[in-house]
A and B are shown apart, each in its own frame.
Chain A
Amino acid sequence: MIHSQTLTRLAGDLRARRLSSVELVRACLGRIEASQPQLNAFISITAEQALAAAQAADQALARGEGGALAGVPIGHKDLFCTAGVRTTCGSRMLENFISPYDATVVERLKAAGAVMLGKLNMDEFAMGSSSETSYYGPVRNPWNTEMVPGGSSGGSAAAVCARLIAAATATDTGGSIRQPAAFCGVTGIKPTYGRVSRYGMIAFASSLDQGGVIAASAEDAALMLREMAGFDRRDSTSVEMPVPDYVVGLDAPLEGLRIGVLKEFFDEGLDPDNERCIREALSVFTRLGAGLREVSLPNISLSVPTYYVVAPAECSSNLARYDGVRFGHRCEKPRDLQDLFKRSRSEGFGAEVKRRILTGTYVLSAGYYDAYYLKAQRVRQLIAADFERVFGEVDVLMGPATPTAAFPVGAKVADPITMYLNDIYTISANLAGVPAMSIPCGFARGLPVGLQIIGPHFAEQRLLHAAHRYQLETNWHLEAPERFA
């Protein structure tokens, strides 16, 4: 079946003209349509544009031209602006928003020849860990549709897991790439802060937001990331540093790699079945010649409360732009300007987004700024210093991506703190700005488990290399749910 091939393989087959992009894209569009009632992975399906782009890719390939991803079917998280295509960010606020321009990531993947099949479902404004807060309905986990796919990039993870598309863009503010990748048994990478341009990414928490990839393998993620990453003058926090060719050297031996096993991640909150999978994965790395040693990040227990000051504070500021005046939802018959602001925002935002805006407004309000925001930024510095110290001793850190496998739809919506604690192992990497991945490493009671690999700033290649070597030894990344096989 063509849809079950990896992105790397598809790109090669398309280039060798063993496969036409139009044929491939048609097959994927059919699978997407058929999956929608069960998975709801897409908010918009852009069939017409996709077929036109596929045809153009086939023509370019016939002339011996076309970029590295020519003709390959992908999807974008509906948080990336796509020129002329509705971009909702999972919110009613942007239900009718047609982006006037492409995000840099979208532009670069287009230039590489990738074909966008649609916009992927997500938690509203990327605020959530289960893809249940979307105005467009929850996304379901392809392994078991009673379960959540994780979030906020749940549509990206579910679509790659069900092999509806070869790869997807995603974003990660506190775990929104790694947690859904873990829950759906796919490979996800959150690069270093500043590695991938945020231009055209709808802002949630600007000092934490980072675009990345969800794909079926580390090799595929490397190829996607190579095309997406790099300096962009339109993002003032984009880093001016050359991007290595992530695909080169993936096969090199792992001998001598120093792996730090994060003590704090193996706490009482970790499900024993998940722990078993993680420990087995670590032993695979030992067989590959890597050395393990236990390390500690003493301030890491403060990551979640720190995040829930910094992220809502930045969110309340970023989401102030939705005023019902320039774009986005506007209420009917406003009495006056204040009424226009208040009702447009109240109708346009869902409950979780409102909670975060209110939390952020509270922590930034007069007299509270020092006690919360400044305090949190100090703790954040301590957490970043912990990472810096530990990366003086080891090359990468490994541990679980999530405390448990996917939970049932509806199980955690009632209590925000329970939902927030789901990101306990992922949030610290965002606070420190370091790159991190999740790769599938087994199953706990029939649901995928993700191994997290964290590296120092700009060590994406090291993470991808370790992940790829693991995937040459194991087949977990090749497992796909039967009903979508």
Chain B
Amino acid sequence: MYDFCTNLRFLDGTLMALTRAQVESIAHLARLELEPAEIPAFQDKLSRIVDFIGELERADTDGVAPMAHPLPGLSQRLRPDEVTESDEHELYQRNAPQVASGLYLVPKVIE
């Protein structure tokens, strides 16, 4: 289902578009529901974006380590494993669409 095509150009160099099914499966992975009428526009624009980023292929990156932190020599700082935050769930849940007894409510998951 999620088998996409990496080589998005036909041999004559013309752009090979993402198929409707590919766009739909990417959308499912991203938990987005696209209107049937808007899928062709997404197909077109995403195909152009994927074609554009495909340019990276030509870069010679042999022996180059992928960047792990934007500042050279720095890595992720860790903090001491101590409790520093107080319980503010009432404050935070004021933004929740639906809560009861301090719990977030969602549609029934298990029948």
Contact = CB atoms under 8 A, between A and B. Distances in A.
Given A325-B106, A354-B42, A100 B66 contact: no
B45 to A, nearest CB: 5
B26 A330 contact: no
B59 A358 contact: no
Interface in A374-408: 374-382, 384, 388
B61 to A, nearest CB: 4
B30 interface: yes
A377 B67 contact: yes
Q: What secondary structure prevails in chain B residues at the interface with A?
A: loop
Given A342-B32, A380-B67, A417-B48, A308 B53 contact: yes
A457 B71 contact: yes
A336 to B, nearest CB: 5
Interface string A346-389: 10010100110111111101111001101111111110100010
B32 A346 contact: yes
Nearest to A433: B70
A233 interface: yes
B104 A326 contact: yes
Interface in B37-62: 38, 42, 45-46, 48-50, 52-57, 59, 61
B95 interface: yes
B21 to A, nearest CB: 13
B19 to A, nearest CB: 13
B106 A359 contact: no
B50 A359 contact: yes
Interface in B84-103: 88, 91-92, 94-98
A371 B6 contact: yes
Contacts of A320: 31
Contacts of A342: 31-33
A365 B26 contact: yes
Interface residues of B, number: 54
Contact of A325 (B30, B91, B94, B97): B97
A111 interface: no
A338 B31 contact: yes
Q: What secondary structure prevails in chain A residues at the interface with B?
A: helix
B71 A368 contact: no
Contact of A336 (B34, B61, B107): B107
A326 B96 contact: yes
B56 A306 contact: yes
A330 B4 CA distance: 31
A325 B96 contact: yes
A327 interface: yes
A335 B33 CA distance: 14
Contacts of A302: 55-56, 59
A134 B4 CA distance: 32
B56 A372 contact: yes
A472 interface: no
Interface string A318-332: 001001111111100
Interface residues of A, number: 79
A324 B97 contact: yes
Interface string B2-46: 111010000000000000000100110111111000100010011
B83 interface: no
B4 A362 contact: yes
A316 interface: yes
A335 B107 contact: yes
Given A354-B32, A382-B59, A236 B76 contact: yes
A337 interface: yes
A98 interface: yes
A239 B74 contact: yes
Interface string A446-476: 0000000000010000000000000000000
A334 B29 contact: no
A26 interface: no
Contacts of B30: 316, 345, 357-358, 360-361
Contacts of A330: 97-98
Contacts of B3: 367
A325 to B, nearest CB: 5
B26 A362 contact: yes
User: Which residue, of A236, A316, A354, has the highest number of chain B Cβ atoms within 10 A?
Assistant: A354
Nearest to B29: A361
Contacts of B34: 346, 354
Given A97-B95, A299-B59, A342-B33, 5 more contacts: A207-B69, A236-B77, A341-B31, A372-B56, A381-B64
23 contacts: A192-B71, A194-B74, A207-B70, A233-B79, A302-B59, A316-B30, A323-B31, A327-B96, A337-B109, A343-B33, A346-B34, A355-B45, A358-B23, A358-B26, A358-B30, A358-B32, A359-B50, A361-B26, A361-B30, A368-B6, A381-B66, A415-B48, A417-B49
Q: Which 5 A-B pairs have the closest CB atoms?
A: A433-B70, A377-B66, A330-B97, A378-B61, A327-B95
